[in-house]
Amino acid sequence: MVERETSNWTVLIVEDEPDNLSVAEKVLTFYGAEVLTARDGMEGLEILKKVKPTFILMDLSMPKMDGWEMLKAVRANPKTAHLPVIALTAHAMAGDEKRVMEAGFDGYITKPFRLASFMDKIKACLHSWAEKTLREEWREL
Amino acid sequence: MTETKKSSQQSGQQALLRFLDAVWRLLTEPSAALQGLEARRQARVLSGILIPLSLAAFLGLVANPTTPFIRLMLILLIAAYGLSRTRYATLAMVLAIAVGVLPPAGALLTLEGYTQQGIILSAVWLLIPMLLSGILFPPLGTVLVNLAIVGFVLALPALNPSLPFSNILATLGFLISVAPMFLVGSFIRRRDIREVESVRARMENILNTAGEGIITVDSQQRITLFNRQAEELFGYRAEEVLGQPLSLLMPEQFQAAHARHVDHFGQEEAMFRAMGQREVEILGRRKDGSTFPMEVAISKVEVGGEINFTAMLHDITERKKVEEDLRKLSRAAEQSAVSIVITDTSGTIEYVNPKFTEVTGYTREEALGQNPRILKSGKMPPETYKDLWQTITSGRVWRGEFHNRKKNGELYWEAVSIAPVLDASGKVTHYVAVKEDITERKAAEERIRDQARRLAATARDLAIARKRAEEANRLKSEFLSTMSHELRTPLNAIIGYTEIMLAGMTGDLSNEQFDYLKRVLANGENLLNLINNVLDIAKIEAGRMELVQEPIPIRPWLEGVTRQFQILAEEKGLAFTAIVSPDMPDTIVGDPERLKQIATNLISNAVKFTDEGSINVEIDKLADDRWALVVSDTGVGIPSHAQEYIFDEFRQADGSPRRKYGGTGLGLAIVRNLALTMGGNVRLTSKVGEGSTFTVILPLVTQDMTVAQK
């Protein structure tokens, strides 16, 4: 089950709810990714000072510093500005996805997620992120 | 002093006159001609009688009329004289008989020579007229008496015919004694003529300067007097009409009537007097033939046994016109739909019209003489009345509104206009108030204001209610959002851990463990569906369902929607077809997710409730820019009684299939609500045991349309 692609991943999961954190961690770990966890935005930012993950899987509603704020902080920091950030949220009402994408997330996965589609969605997000980044680099060139 | 003397003299004269009057009355009875005559005329009458008496005495003495012939002549002379004074003819005849016929007198007159009695008698005969003249005409009295005495002395010798020149002396004496009578007579006549003339002049002056036309007519209805004013009125000159019949001055149609009036004047006059009026209004005819209304006062004058009429008349054309105007104005006031009150300058009511009576309840009699303050309700500030009086006493019109009180105590509003009435000199003589009852209008205004206030309040309430509703909706929306989040969060752990175990990430599982975990997962999925559906329903009902409008490539869309069900159906051994009609455009505009929700609900039901047979999904174009999604199956079908409520929330056809087939009972409710929200509807045809066909009909929007709209 361990794929080459996923085994190269270093994933930062920012999630305040321990069970949800545990599920995501277990699944990603199962597929070979290295997982770093943070219980809120502040912790997440602390980790980002030391480690540069492949992408960040981020809950939105959290104490201290929520996902929206942490995203701003990540984007504000040149060192982390280009990191792919994927929202993993139970905010699944109509319009939520739009808000999430407009805020600058690179992906939107709703809870409860299904194992069958979870990894595919992450990969799709990373691919579209890569395409976007490439386009931007090309434009800069 | 002189006045006292004069007055005593006068009273003496009056006493004598009264005495003589009595004598004359005795003599001339039954003639009443002397009654009421003035002293002057009585004197004239006296002299008219006494002169012939004196003459007779003289002739008797001088001519010694012993012969019957001379005596007859004497009688005739006296009679002729008396007859010349028609009025006293009777008296003269009596005297003539007395002188000529009575033997004692005749005996006296035939005496020869002096006798004492003859002298005395002569003196008496001669003196009486002298004395009377003197008494009756004080200014001449002394002269007359003296003359009479001289005449008497001179006449004395005549009493003895044997004396020389006796006849001449007697004649001279007689003349001297009698002359004053003639003097007095002519004096009186001249004075009478002067007086008459001056009276006539004065009368004429009065007649001509009188404001009225004055006409007199004689008994034959011939005009005998026609004053200047009458000339002006009728356009005739006096000369033209004097002696002419009165009918000249009347329109023909009235002439006959006038003749009757003349005949009955006596009775009519009595009638007029009884009615307290003696004036009549008739039409006069001018020289040019035109007529005019005139007011005539007629009086009857009897002159010398002749009945004359005097008419005082004046043109009342102007007055008629004024009267006419007044009548019209009065009529207008009487008929007026507004109250009219006229007061004098002190505010005392002199007139109220019927409308006033109607409005206030005070009768005319009750109102007249009162002050309009009887209507005061006390609801008006004193300043209003102050302002009112200041305005109208200065001659200006005041307008305003009063809150007044009727006789029965009821309050009412009136719009009032009070104007002063000015006379020719600009002095205020009356005030006229015109008042309109505006209670209704006031009430209507109040109602309108009240309604406006209520409307404003309602609008405020509505605004508040809307704000509250909006707030409530926002809270509801927030609540839904929170609910969704809070339900999904634990489900994530449940489903996540279950799948982790089922995927073998935690090591091998026993069959039983695997089976249970499958059930946990299935229940978790059900729970998730339920949550999604409940939230959808809630969102639709809260009006928070926002539909997007984006292009949908309808064929790939249907393929995507049906793919999973095709697999499921085939797993159940069912035939599954999904067809888009060739009529349908490639791309329609709509909300793909919501359309998918409709389709998946219907198709999943079809798969769920069909155990054998087929499931067909069709998209057709309908007329009138509509399209239909038709999902039909050969499943259990829905009893007709259940078809009515099958679209209600939490309802399924009956209890048992629900247990058998599961589901939330919200799917069809969501389908219907979404279809309605999109402007369409959903229909069901079904027969138990044969299957069901759900048809969702929606408006067809294409890209062309949206472009055209833009």
Instruction: Report domain extents, chain B.
Output: 2-193, 210-320, 336-437, 438-544, 547-709
Identify the residue with better confidence: B24 or B175: B175
CB contact under 8 A, B484 and A115: no
Average confidence (pLDDT) over B212-221 = 82
Backbone angle region of B235, left / alpha / beta, with phi > 0 → left and psi within -120 to 50 → alpha: left
Per the CATH hierarchy, to which homologous superfamily does domain B547-709 belong? Answer: Histidine kinase-like ATPase, C-terminal domain (3.30.565.10)
From the CA of A141, how many Å to the nearest CA of chain B?
A: 35
Mutate to test the interface with A, among B474, B492, B517, B547 (most CBs of A within 10 A): B492
From the CA of B583, how many Å to the nearest CA of chain A?
A: 32
Confidence of residue B244 (pLDDT cuts 50, 70, 90): confident
CB contact under 8 A, B505 and A113: no
Give the model's pLDDT for residue B616: 93
| Range of weakest confidence among B50-54, B248-252, B537-541, B633-637 | B50-54
Give the model's pLDDT for residue B56: 56
In the chain, the amino acid numbered B436 is E
Under DSSP, the state recorded for B63 is S
Give the model's pLDDT for residue B113: 46
Task: Please say whether the beta carbons of B92 and B81 come within 8 A.
Answer: yes
Average confidence (pLDDT) over B442-453 = 88
Longest dimension (CA), chain A: 45
Domains and CATH numbers, chain A: 4-140 (3.40.50.2300)
Q: pTM, whole model, 2 decimals?
A: 0.43
From the CA of B497, how many Å to the nearest CA of chain A?
A: 6
Q: What is the pLDDT of residues B145-202, one digit of tens each?
A: 455 555 555 555 445 555 555 556 556 655 655 555 556 556 656 666 777 777 777 7
**What is the number of H-type helices and E-type strands within chain B?**
24, 17
Whole-number Å distance between alpha carbons of B33 and B44: 13
Q: What is the pLDDT of residues B597-653, one digit of tens each?
A: 899 889 988 988 898 899 999 999 988 889 999 999 998 888 887 777 777 765 555
| Range of weakest confidence among A20-29, B38-47, B700-709 | B38-47
Hey, what are B318's tokens?
A: 């102007």
Helix (H, G, I), strand (E, B) or coil at B285: strand
Give the model's pLDDT for residue A73: 92
Give the model's pLDDT for residue B512: 92
Q: Using a pLDDT cut of 90, give the percent of chain B over it.
A: 9
Give the N- to C-terminal CA distance of chain B in Å, as an integer: 135
Pairing of strands A55-58, A10-14: parallel
Whole-number Å distance between alpha carbons of B597 and B601: 6
Task: Please say whether the beta carbons of B405 and B375 come within 8 A.
Answer: yes
Mutate to test the interface with B, among A6, A22, A98, A115 (most CBs of B within 10 A): A115
DSSP secondary structure, B182-217, as one string: HHHHHHHHHHHHHHHHHHHHHHHHHHHHSSSEEEEE
The position carrying tokens 């992120």 is: A129
Identify the residue with better confidence: A138 or A29: A29
Whole-number Å distance between alpha carbons of B262 and B285: 18
- pLDDT value at B39 more than 50: no
CB contact under 8 A, B493 and A19: yes
| Range of weakest confidence among A129-138, B89-98, B698-707 | B89-98
Identify the residue with better confidence: B651 or A120: A120
Whole-number Å distance between alpha carbons of B190 and B201: 16
- pLDDT value at B349 more than 80: yes
Rounded to two decimals, the ipTM of the complex is 0.89
**Torsion sign, CA atoms B121, B122, B123, B124:** positive
Q: Using a pLDDT cut of 70, give the percent of chain B over it.
A: 66
Whether the CB of A2 is below 8 Å from some CB of chain B: the reply is no
Class of residue B620 by CB neighbours under 10 A (exposed 0-12, middle 13-18, buried 19+): middle
The CATH label, of 1.10.287, 1.10.3470, 2.60.40, 1.10.357, for the domain at B438-544 is: 1.10.287
Give the N- to C-terminal CA distance of chain A in Å, as an integer: 39
CB contact under 8 A, A110 and B505: no
Give the model's pLDDT for residue B471: 80
Give the model's pLDDT for residue B630: 94
Give the model's pLDDT for residue B232: 85
- pLDDT value at B445 more than 50: yes
Give the model's pLDDT for residue B516: 92
Considering only the top CATH level, what class is B210-320? alpha beta
Average confidence (pLDDT) over A56-83 = 90
Helix (H, G, I), strand (E, B) or coil at B683: strand
- pLDDT value at B266 more than 60: no
Average confidence (pLDDT) over B511-530 = 88
Whether the CB of B488 is below 8 Å from some CB of chain A: the reply is yes
Pairing of strands B575-580, B398-405: unpaired
Whether the CB of B252 is below 8 Å from some CB of chain A: the reply is no
Whole-number Å distance between alpha carbons of B43 and B24: 11
- pLDDT value at B19 more than 50: yes
Under DSSP, the state recorded for B87 is G
Nearest to A38 by CA among A59, A13, A74, A66: A13
Closest chain B residue by Cα to residue A93: B481
Identify the residue with better confidence: B576 or B663: B576
Q: What is the 3-state secondary structure (H, E, C) of B117-143?
A: HHHHHHHHHHHHHHHHHHHHCHHHHHH
The CATH label, of 3.40.50.880, 3.40.47.10, 3.40.50.1240, 3.30.450.20, for the domain at B336-437 is: 3.30.450.20
- pLDDT value at B544 more than 90: no
Task: Please say whether the beta carbons of B703 and B551 come within 8 A.
Answer: yes
Q: What is the pLDDT of residues B368-394, one digit of tens each?
A: 888 888 888 888 888 888 888 888 888
Distances (CA, A) of B588 to B554, B579, B709: 6, 16, 15
| Range of weakest confidence among B65-69, B345-349, B661-665 | B65-69
Averaged confidence pLDDT in chain B: 74
Identify the residue with better confidence: B39 or A15: A15
Confidence of residue B494 (pLDDT cuts 50, 70, 90): very high
**Torsion sign, CA atoms B365, B366, B369, B371:** negative
Give the model's pLDDT for residue B91: 46
Distances (CA, A) of B645 to A87, B539, B598, B634: 41, 21, 18, 21
Give the number of A-B residue pairs with CB atoms closer than 8 Å.
75
Residue B229 makes CB contacts below 8 A (sequence gap 6+) with: B208, B210, B211, B212, B213, B214, B314
In the chain, the amino acid numbered B556 is P
Give the model's pLDDT for residue B171: 60
- pLDDT value at B694 more than 90: yes
- pLDDT value at A21 more than 90: yes
